[in-house]
Amino acid sequence: MIDTGQILVNSLVTSSLYLLAGTGLTLTFGLSRFPNFAYAELITVGAFCGLLFLAQPGGVFVLALVGAFLVAGLVSASSYSLVFQPLAERKTSLIHLMVASIALGYVLRHTIGEIWGWSAQAYQLMWTVYTIGTVRISSLWIIMIATAVLTAVVLHFFLTRTRTGKAIRAVASNPELASVTGINKQKVILLTWFFGAGLAAVAGVFRAADTRLFPMLGWDILLPIFAVTILGGIGSFYGLIIAALLLGLAENFGVVLLSSIGLSTEYRMAIAFLILITVLIVRPKGLAR
């Protein structure tokens, strides 16, 4: 029995997660010109900060979201100025930057593992489940979708209407020209690393609230996040929105298709991988350019 309405709702939830988690990756990838593999761990950092803030007296979900945003943003911005900026100044190769980001990811992941342990935990939160016709939707899912839509709208106006937003786009499209016009390149990059990681942390809190949390949480969704980043076109926020919607639909309809032809639903990840490979062969620049 295939319930199309339910699959569409599930797809929207998945897309919202990928959009929030992918925004920072695509923007920093576009600005700094290398994929930060430690992004997975920034998502995880967010999820565990959420756990920490929820455990405080009077800890409400909004506080967890804000706290995770700030902490992950600080971790990301300081990792940029302590590791990646010095490496970039030494004219390090792209591969070295990627290796450094993987190494940073291990430092973060094992620090989390040392503090909170490796077994799965869960937030002590309850969500109301609404039933509309045959479609079930929890209040958490509504918050997730609303946050993603709000983020998309705010970022759209931020990138097109504010000076800082325009500066980010300028540095991404032509760093030299942007510097010549008096834009403080380092400040713009640092700001993007901060806000991008903050959004990734928000995605981490949502993921943890929706499922469980463990040190591999971020790593487990890194593949689809890379897939949406490349499908959307590296650095393109609008491409990312479309790609996140497409991958959300592909994964959720794909899972139904997989189980109907008798394959394991573990292949959910393989759908993202297939899309990634196809994009690289057919249109490596992605949808947006």
Q: Which of residues 24-83 bind another protein (CB under 8 A)?
A: 34-35, 37, 83
Residue with smaller CB distance to another protein, 127 or 267:
267
**How far is the C-alpha of 184 from the C-alpha of 189, rounded, in Å?**
9
Residue 95 binds another protein (CB under 8 A): yes
**Lookup: tokens for 79:** 């990792």
Cβ atoms of 85 and 186 closer than 8 Å: yes
Select the residue interacting with another protein from 223, 249, 256, 287 (CB under 8 A).
223
Q: Which residues pair with 213 in a beta bridge?
A: 121
The backbone region for 213, taken as left when phi is positive above 0, alpha when psi lies in -120 to 50, beta otherwise, is beta
Shortest gap between Cβ of 113 and another protein (angstroms)? 5
What residues between 266 and 285 interact with another protein by CB under 8 A?
A: 266-267, 269-270, 272-273, 276-277, 280-281, 284
The candidate with the shortest Cα–Cα distance to 29, out of 168, 147, 207, 144, is: 168
- In angstroms, what is the minimal distance from the CB of 249 to another protein? 20
The answer to whether 76 and 196 have CB atoms below 8 angstroms apart is: yes
What is the rounded distance in angstroms from the CA atom of residue 143 to the CA atom of residue 149? 10
Residue 176 interacts with another protein (CB under 8 A): yes or no: no
Q: What phi and psi, each to the nearest 5 degrees, are found at residue 285?
A: -80, -10
Q: Does 263 participate in binding another protein (rule CB under 8 A)?
A: yes
Query: Of the two residues 8 and 83, which places its CB atom closer to another protein in the complex?
Result: 83
d(CA 170, CA 180): 11
- Amino acid identity of 169? R
Q: Does 6 interact with another protein (rule: CB under 8 A)?
A: no
Q: How far apart are CA 261 and CA 180, in angstroms?
A: 58
Instruction: Give the footprint of another protein on residues 224-253 (CB under 8 A).
Output: 226-227, 230
The one segment of 9-17, 67-75, 86-94, 198-206 that binds another protein by CB under 8 A = 86-94
Euclidean distance between CA atoms 83 and 91, whole angstroms: 13
Of 107 and 129, the one with the shorter C-beta distance to another protein is 107
Pick 171 or 230: Cβ nearer another protein: 230
> What does the binding site for another protein look like in residue numbers (CB under 8 A)?
34-35, 37, 83, 86-87, 90, 92-96, 98-100, 102-107, 109-111, 113-114, 219, 223, 226-227, 230, 263-264, 266-267, 269-270, 272-273, 276-277, 280-281, 284
